[in-house]
Structure 1
């Protein structure tokens, strides 16, 4: 057991190194294989131990950026995430006893990954295998099988690698056939790329206004932040008038480009109107606004401002961050006065609409910060007619960490999944424009100010991944439930048969 535990601890760290900022994606299969070897041969009652150790090192390493919020928050959140590796260890132990166990163990990985990505309080999707797959053949499968499918493919590569190592002592034709089939499935997207038809183009400007001072606390300097975005948009308007820049069809400001309600704050509202009138095209502003149904709450929105007309369509963030943007069960679990929770005086209400924004003549799928890590929001808007994707983000708190790189990689993968151009506007990094093949056309690094003006392709083509929607994720959860129920039922049946056999033995002994 000590060697198994050591292997699991190292395997978790190796898997974390596949993600940004290290970004060695090829480490994922050997890391998954290490987990399989650490669990293989153990009964379910012990298999959870190395699996939990794997989860601890992986979770704490891949999300070490959470320390920017607070060491206590990092410890608590990653403890919850690591706990999901307990049922994973049990499920792997069950699956390793079956024929074709590489498939069943890969399904268990994806099922647990899906579970922790949605629970509790909407879960934590960071650390999904697919989110380390940029610039790999696995990512080229995204438009065909989606994020859950690609995570399964990566997990299957790792479990098959473990199976192949076990076959080294007695190689067989079956081993070569299985590995060959897996190679074909992985490389097939390269041979048969998904074709996206463009229905037109539009020119988009993304503004990264930066945050004064340390750049870590937007709220403390929120008026300067808003003024920066107004100033840079007006400078863009002057450059367009001088023929130095192409005229955009609309402009995207990041999340928290205004941290107060622009409809009740005259200074901020006037600044937005001034910028919109200067550039003469709509601006998608990332702003906070009061909840019209309850003034005690707040909405985090992408608000379309139209020159001369004011506000239009709005998108409301679907996945506010628990204990960062709202406090679950406020006052009943953790006191609202504890630590940095004092900085969350009002709860942010989650949005529910999947209707794309109408920005001029273009329909836009919007995502705000952590929204980009969840499957249903962007793909749901694309399925309803969105022609391109915008991501508005304010991750200034994490600007000295690997979180920026991880989130930007997710945005790149969303472009491949949906077959849409993606425009990322970050408050102080990383902003960028991404083609549907995941290639970054232009970007602004962290802790800088700048404006990107790019011609963007529009499309109405729906990828198979968008058509599948969240059904692959639901299937993975159904597999967890079905396999668990099967194991429990068969165990109960075996116990009953064993009890009847014991009773019969006792009756024969009494008769004798």
Structure 2
């Protein structure tokens, strides 16, 4: 059933062309768009709803005034981001959660505004619906991934496609290409909704099928022939919640005990000897470079397992107010290798450091619970005797450039050290979806090591192996392939996204010319009528 615009103008300005859908229909469509985009993402994983959400918002905002287009997009963004980011309220309370969700919703509002702005172009050439919606969503995500305060890329269309054929597109153009394909599929649906039944509709159906199904036939990067045994230790924490940091020695002991148990199984011949052991972020919230007791615990575990351990540690500085979030390679017998230490480059604003602290304190009395985390200045390349690891910490997996830099720097496998103890299983699964995309994008087998879950290994096809449960202790050991071939996405880097943003700018400028010509034609028509 096609949605036909009403015959008489509703809210369009004179000379602006046909009217949009009635507002009483557009409002529920915008709400449904937000619901569809939410349910496409983990933990729901109804990936096929992503194009539907894009289509519903496109139809709702088409031909509307700009402020109405923004309002409908903003409404869809609120429906999407408030439940999606609910886990942020567990640590910092409702105010930061609300502010972050509203800020993210603004970007979806801008997408609605841009769709309304492009209406003259979409009316003239309906076949532009797929590419233009694809470009708009890539551009929206490019902006949201960078601003403000370094951006927050959660909820990208690409992160909803873990089980979809379109995930394979990540190997050819990264997350931006996956987002483009998903939004372009939504554009096909939107064009069908506005198109009267005709042969042209068959073309949109064919394009939709190609975008949704054809990527399944794309080849992926081949696996390297060399393998190394890698172990993930998920030690768990005494209890969930922000106050787990007060029990930091118990957390460290949990990870050490699990590693000692693994060493006993290796000695008994029931488990493989690992070449590398990965502990998660915050597995030692006590600085092992300053605290001798913590150093002895880690050294005992490394000596027992007979392999280096990548320890997630919080490091103190000369300034008591400042800390660093680090991954430190701890070797058996010789201890920490300070040359193989990675400091998190992208601390999360309002969670790991507080921008405008004095202003933020007026909003929430929990501001001073947030310490000042200093950013690192180099890529997370960790070299061991057996392999070179690309290390990213927690939310950094959401940022394209940080992950890619490890691969171009020589990483043979990718590791995400994370601490989900202050969040919930939904947040952990959202993060794992990002790991899946990165594995395909760069042709590197990957893993996620969490304090409480979810921890898992991921193949270069995005398949998840040995997934742990949430809020439990777990140890996983797996042979990981090294040195997969470098993908086109890795070689292209940011250029596909730059191209999409540039084409979006051209399209917006083209719509400006169409709008100006329409106004000029309308004025000329009025002058001729008066002359007659």
**TM-score, normalised with respect to structure 2:** 0.88
SS at 2:333 equivalent: coil
Q: Which residue of 1 aligns with 2:331?
A: 306
Q: Which residue of 2 aligns with 1:10?
A: 32
Q: Which residue of 2 aligns with 1:326?
A: 353
Would you say the 8 A contact 2:275–2:386 is kept in 1?
no
Among 318, 322, 344, the residue aligned to 1:317 = 344
Matches of 1:370 and 1:20, distance apart in 2: 15
Would you say the 8 A contact 1:336–1:342 is kept in 2?
no
Q: Which residue of 2 aligns with 1:46?
A: 68
Q: Does 1:87 align with 2:110?
A: yes
Matches of 2:409 and 2:479, distance apart in 1: 23
Matches of 2:437 and 2:159, distance apart in 1: 7
Cα distance, 1:141 vs. partner? 1.8
Would you say the 8 A contact 2:439–2:446 is kept in 1?
yes
Matches of 1:301 and 1:473, distance apart in 2: 30
Q: Which residue of 1 aligns with 2:14?
A: none
Q: Which residue of 2 aligns with 1:373?
A: 398
Q: Does 1:33 align with 2:55?
A: yes
Cα distance, 1:264 vs. partner? 0.7
Q: Which residue of 2 aligns with 1:191?
A: 217
Cα distance, 1:317 vs. partner? 1.3
> How much is the aligned-residue C-alpha RMSD, in angstroms?
2.5
Matches of 1:490 and 1:423, distance apart in 2: 50
Among 10, 14, 21, the residue aligned to 2:43 = 21
Q: Which residue of 2 aligns with 1:463?
A: 487
Q: Which residue of 1 aligns with 2:434?
A: 410
Listed as ranges, the matches of 1:237-386 within 5 Å are 237-291=263-317, 296-312=321-337, 313-331=340-358, 333-335=359-361, 338-344=364-370, 346-354=371-379, 356-386=381-411
Q: Does 1:128 align with 2:156?
A: yes
Among 473, 485, 492, the residue aligned to 1:449 = 473
Q: Which residue of 1 aligns with 2:167?
A: 139
Cα distance, 1:62 vs. partner? 2.0
Matches of 1:34 and 1:480, distance apart in 2: 20
Q: Which residue of 2 aligns with 1:58?
A: 80
Q: Does 1:210 align with 2:236?
A: yes
Deviates more, 1:350-359 or 1:365-374: 350-359
Would you say the 8 A contact 1:366–1:390 is kept in 2?
yes
Matches of 1:216 and 1:429, distance apart in 2: 16
Q: Which residue of 1 aligns with 2:247?
A: 221
Would you say the 8 A contact 2:75–2:109 is kept in 1?
no
In structure 2, the gaps of 5 or more residues are 1-22
Q: Deviations over 1:456-511 (max 9, x none)?
A: 11124111111121222233333444444555577678889999x89x99xx99xx
Matches of 2:378 and 2:510, distance apart in 1: 38
Would you say the 8 A contact 1:12–1:55 is kept in 2?
yes
Matches of 2:504 and 2:372, distance apart in 1: 33
Distance 1:217 1:469, change over 3 A: farther
Q: Which residue of 2 aligns with 1:230?
A: 256
Cα distance, 1:10 vs. partner? 2.2
Among 425, 438, 445, the residue aligned to 1:421 = 445
Among 150, 154, 170, the residue aligned to 2:178 = 150
Distance 1:481 1:316, change over 3 A: farther
SS at 1:138 equivalent: helix
Matches of 2:106 and 2:363, distance apart in 1: 27
Matches of 2:367 and 2:179, distance apart in 1: 34
Would you say the 8 A contact 1:385–1:460 is kept in 2?
no
Matches of 1:406 and 1:195, distance apart in 2: 24
Would you say the 8 A contact 1:442–1:452 is kept in 2?
yes
Matches of 1:116 and 1:49, distance apart in 2: 18
Matches of 1:415 and 1:471, distance apart in 2: 19
Q: Deviations over 1:12-37 (max 9, x none)?
A: 11221111222211111222111111
Matches of 1:225 and 1:117, distance apart in 2: 32
SS at 2:111 equivalent: helix
| Count of residues in correspondence between the two structures | 499
Matches of 1:339 and 1:206, distance apart in 2: 37
Cα distance, 1:321 vs. partner? 1.3
